[in-house]
Structure 1
Amino acid sequence: MTSPGVPPAWVGWGAAVCAFAFAAVSLAWALGSTVGLDTLGGSIERMARDRDPTLLAANAVALVLKVLGGVLALALVQPWGRRLPRRPLLALGWLGATVLVLYGVLQVASVALVAVGVIVPSEPISDQALAWRLLLWEPWFLVWGLLLGGATLRSQRLRRPTTSPDPDGHR
């Protein structure tokens, strides 16, 4: 059981699952799988199908960042993470959470505006790709960011236990 005001440990596990699942998708596409590419639509789908070197490089960078994001999430809630420098760990957690939440909000909002016809994209996007992006791909960033923020808050609020009591019996 957690103390009041301290998020449960599952938020870190949830952030890690989001990160590693997202990384697995990137890895599959980097290795040439075309499964699910039609859920992206537009030029990104075309570039992926054409194995565009720029997109492949961006995908490789994204893959590494997603794996590191999963490791970060685990470091925030696992005992081994307590051995890492606290301030840099918290700074990376808050930075990652902020970037993911902002990106997720902006992407969900922009795709929603396309879906309702307020914004007309420069190139057509299929209804299928629009639905996938609105209901899965873009919210995934938002959910991942919120979970990572919860894991960072948990780590920040929990006191680092000392290894042993002092001679007077105090910690």
Structure 2
Amino acid sequence: MRLGSVAGYAAAVIGALYAALSLYWGAGGTYWLDTVGGAVRDLAGRGGTSAVTVGLGAAALKLAASAVAFVLARTGGRLRWLLILAALIGFVLIVYGGVLVAVGALVLTGAMDPGTAIDRTALTWHVAVWDLWFLVWGVLFALATIAFRRRSPVVGSRV
């Protein structure tokens, strides 16, 4: 199996796992919820329609991105629109995860003052797990997109 396929399938699995976690928290699950902190922890902890709606929305977005990664791996990146969409998703995930990991690490090391009290446990988990997960997911999307773009003729592209 080639790099693009491995990266695409890995991105699909990571996205599906992340979606399952969102569904779990949205449905009232509490395991690891204290590691998330902030508004998400508070909303999920209260439960109710809002928590379910947010959980379902987050899970739907993550599953949609996961499906894009799966289709990318299955088609070998031969569809121009799919490569563009995968590149966009990868870019957004890398920027989002990268910025949050970098800023969180700066706060945790004392190089940056957050200005308010922070939940160090939740921030540590974000830097080491949750936000890093987004960053790794984005890198996998980027690897798959680059590998397939280099290897495959793209349907719909101009020569």
Q: Deviations over 1:39-73 (max 9, x none)?
A: 01233312220126555433322111111111111
Q: Which runs of 4+ in 1 moved over 6 A?
A: none
Q: Per-residue deviation at 1:77?
A: 1.4
CA distance in 2, matches of 1:139, 1:146: 10
User: Corresponding residue for 2:10?
Assistant: 14
Cα distance change of structure 1 residues 52 and 44 upon mapping to structure 2, 3 Å threshold? farther
TM-score of the two chains, using structure 2 as the length reference? 0.85
The code of the aligned residue for 1:147 comes to L
* Corresponding residue to 1:50 among 34, 38, 46: 46
User: Corresponding residue for 1:35?
Assistant: 31
Q: Deviations over 1:85-121 (max 9, x none)?
A: x121111101100000000111101211221231225
CA distance in 2, matches of 1:56, 1:104: 24
* Structure 2 residue runs without a partner (length 5+): none
User: Corresponding residue for 1:119?
Assistant: 113
Cα distance change of structure 1 residues 119 and 161 upon mapping to structure 2, 3 Å threshold? closer
Cα distance change of structure 1 residues 51 and 87 upon mapping to structure 2, 3 Å threshold? same
- Bigger Rg, structure 1 or 2: 1
Q: Per-residue deviation at 1:161?
A: 9.4
* Corresponding residue to 2:151 among 151, 155, 158: 158
* SS at 1:122 equivalent: coil
Q: Does 1:103 align with 2:96?
A: yes
* Structure 1 residue runs without a partner (length 5+): 163-171
Q: Percent of counterpart pairs with the same letter?
A: 35
CA distance in 2, matches of 1:159, 1:113: 40
User: Corresponding residue for 1:89?
Assistant: 82
Greater per-residue helix proportion: 2
Q: How many pairs were matched up?
A: 154
Are the equivalent residues in 2 in contact too, given 1:74–1:81 (CA < 8 A)?
no
